Structure formats: C-alpha cells, structure tokens
Amino acid sequence: MRFLPGIFFFASLFFSCAHDSKPQYLSQNKMKQVIWDLIRADQYVSEFLIKDSTKKKKPELAKLYDEIFHLHGITEQQFKQSLDHYSSNPNLFRPIIDSIVKQQSEAKPYFAPSAGKITKDSLLKHRIPKPLPVR
C-alpha cells in the first residue's frame, strides 16, 4: 500500500510527458516548395504590383503570403518554426537552398512572349499577371 501513491505519481508524470509533443517541422521538400513560392510572390510584387500606384507593397505581399500558406495547408507559425529549425541546422538547410538556386536558374520568366504562354507555377495557378502593354 505504501507504493500506491508513488505508482500514481510516476504514472501521472509519464502520461503528462507523453502529451508534450515536439513541434512538427515541415519536410525539406515542403520547405523548398513554400520558400520557392514566397520568393516568386516577392518577385511578382516587385515587378508587377509595384507599378500599380493604387497598391501598397506590404499589404499585397502579406495577402500573397497568406494565400501561399493556405495553398500548402500550413500556418505561418508552422513555417516560422520550420525555418528556424532548418536555418539553425546548416546541414539540413543547405540542400533546400541549393535546390531553390538550381530551380531558379532553370526557371522561365512569368510570361514568355516567344512561346506566347504563361509558365506553370503553383503560385500562378491562382494569380496570373497580365502581360505588359507593348508601346
């Protein structure tokens, strides 16, 4: 009977610790996709929306970021935690960055006039920029 309170104590300690879960980080492939789309959103705002004087850069970029997080089924908090995790581990973050750099070097522009069509990109599925008028 003396051991009964001790058993309950250790059992409650064990089960309470079992519910403490570590943050779930995004996979390297998912991080690559999200970062790629965020870079493309920055590029889109810098090259196309900034020319529209009625649009402000920061609110438009925030809207795009929210759309990207929704598109990938993640929250901003999940992305930030994963980014902190990967950036604090260079051996894990380097392959992500290297693959993004490679993808950027192989990427086509938003609108290829010679081909007459818009390139496929997960971000552009929802927002297709209008081609600039020819003067």
CB 72 within 8 A of CB 37: yes
pLDDT digits (tens, 9 = 90+) for 106-129: 876 555 444 444 555 555 555 555
More confident of the two residues 127 and 62:
62
**What is the pLDDT averaged over residues 5-22?**
49
Question: The tokens of 67 are what?
Answer: 């759309």
Q: What angle do CA 41, 47, 51 make, to 5 degrees?
A: 120
Local structure of residue 125 (DSSP, 8 states): T
* Terminal alpha carbon distance of the chain: 92
Per residue in 83-102, pLDDT (tens digit) is 999 999 999 999 999 998 88
Structural domain boundaries in the chain: 26-118
